[in-house]
């Protein structure tokens, strides 16, 4: 859960070796001039990059997106200079953490949908694994200066939205999920319940988070046991927010 060793999480800031064969042998010197600025990054640099993203994700969930960067570096077990070398400023780091997390959560939604035959079981599996993936790290996206409309993010967010909506729709159609809730309701409550209580790195969040998520999920089952105040929260309700 804490080790993001799985996929090639995001577009690396150091342009990857994608264009490797682009440089013809004939002119290695000329190749180094412009397009072929892709000297495959060192193994330890890649490892550190992933450690930083994982550490930042935890720290952002705990302290918000204003978490001290030196603290992030400390948790990642690296020097602060290394952090700044990989991500020149805070905005860049936040951007990549959000992207990283969005993609991982979306992947877990698709996996749940594909692998669980029961629609409600799929919803449960997604919910618990999104908590483990620290979906709360997406909250900085709602903050003021964040570039919500960056193409990379837009794509990732759309994919996530689609997966979650599908998951919920399946549950509703199977008559297993009450009809008066929206994907926004799930995402908000999920973020809230999986966050550590403020000022308390101390007692382990996870022990309680999964209990309370399960209780919440029990409340989502059909038939509904009560009437809800207000109206269902859609995912648009989350991204819009007019400051």
Q: Which residues bind its own copies (CB under 8 A)?
A: 64-65, 139-140, 142-144, 181, 184-185, 188-189, 191-193, 195, 197-200, 202-203, 207-208, 210-212, 214-221, 224-226, 228-230, 233, 237, 241-243
The partner in contact with residue 172, picked from DNA, its own copies, none with C-beta cut-offs of 5 to 8 angstroms by kind, is none
- Burial (0-12, 13-18, 19+ Cβ within 10 Å), 30: exposed
The listed partner (DNA, its own copies, none) that binds 69, CB under 5 to 8 Å by sort, is DNA
Distance CA(50)–CA(104), nearest Å, equals 13
Torsion of CA 25, 28, 31, 36, to 10 degrees: 80
Looking at beta carbons only, is 21 or 229 nearer to its own copies? 229
Q: Binds 77, which of its own copies, DNA, none (CB < 5 to 8 A, cut-off by type)?
A: DNA
Kindly indicate which of the ranges 37-45, 54-62, 149-157, 213-221 contains the residues binding DNA, using the contact rule CB under 7 A. 37-45
Q: Write the Ramachandran bin of 16: left for phi over 0, alpha for psi from -120 to 50, otherwise beta.
A: beta
- Residue placing its CB nearer to its own copies in the complex, 108 or 205: 205
Residue 24 or residue 88: which is nearer to DNA going by CB?
Answer: 88
Does 211 bind DNA (CB under 7 A)? Our answer is no
Name which of its own copies, DNA, none residue 203 binds, using a CB cut-off of 5 to 8 Å depending on partner kind.
its own copies
Strand partners, 177: 221
Select from 68-76, 99-107, 138-146, 209-217 the region that touches DNA (CB under 7 A). 68-76
Question: Quick check: 41 binds DNA (CB under 7 A)?
Answer: yes
Within 89-128, the residues that bind DNA by CB under 7 A are 89-90
CA–CA distance from 64 to each of 13, 19, 112, 190, 217 (Å)? 23, 37, 28, 16, 26
Residue 70: strand pairing partners: none
State the DSSP string of 92-110. Answer: HHHHHHHHHHHHHHHHHHH
Query: Which of 178, 157, 170 is CA-nearest to residue 125?
Result: 170
Name which of 40 and 211 has its Cβ closer to DNA.
40
Name 76's Cβ contacts closer than 8 Å, sequence gap at least 6: 48, 51, 52, 54, 55, 56, 83
Per the listing, tokens 């997406």 go with 138
Instruction: Annotate each residue in 45-64 with x if it binds DNA (CB under 7 A) or - if it does not, as one string.
Output: x--x----------------
Is residue 78 within the footprint of DNA (CB under 7 A)?
A: yes
Q: Which stretches of the chain bind DNA, using CB under 7 A?
A: 2-3, 14, 39-45, 48, 66, 68-71, 77-82, 84-86, 88-90
């Amino acid at each position: 859960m804490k080790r993001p060793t799985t996929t090639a999480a995001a577009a690396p800031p150091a342009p990857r070796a994608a264009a490797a064969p682009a440089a013809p042998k004939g002119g290695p010197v000329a190749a180094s001039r412009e397009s072929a600025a892709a000297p495959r990054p060192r193994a330890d640099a890649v490892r550190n990059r992933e450690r930083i993203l994982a550490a930042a994700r935890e720290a952002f969930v705990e302290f918000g997106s204003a978490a001290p960067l030196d603290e992030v570096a400390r948790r990642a077990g690296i020097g602060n200079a290394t952090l700044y070398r990989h991500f020149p400023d805070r905005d860049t780091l936040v951007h990549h953490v959000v992207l990283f997390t969005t993609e991982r959560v979306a992947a877990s939604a698709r996996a749940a949908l594909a692998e669980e035959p029961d629609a409600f079981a799929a919803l449960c599996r997604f919910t618990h694994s999104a908590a483990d993936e620290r979906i709360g790290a997406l909250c900085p996206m709602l903050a003021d200066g964040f570039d919500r409309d960056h193409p990379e993010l837009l794509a990732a967010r759309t994919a996530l939205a689609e997966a979650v909506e599908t998951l919920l729709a399946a549950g509703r159609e199977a008559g297993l999920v009450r009809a008066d809730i929206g994907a926004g309701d799930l995402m908000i409550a999920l973020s809230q319940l999986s966050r550590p209580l403020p000022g308390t790195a101390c007692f382990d969040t996870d022990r309680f988070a999964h209990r309370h998520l399960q209780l919440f999920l029990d409340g989502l089952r059909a038939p509904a046991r009560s009437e809800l105040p207000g109206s269902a929260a859609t995912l648009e309700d989350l991204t819009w927010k007019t400051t």
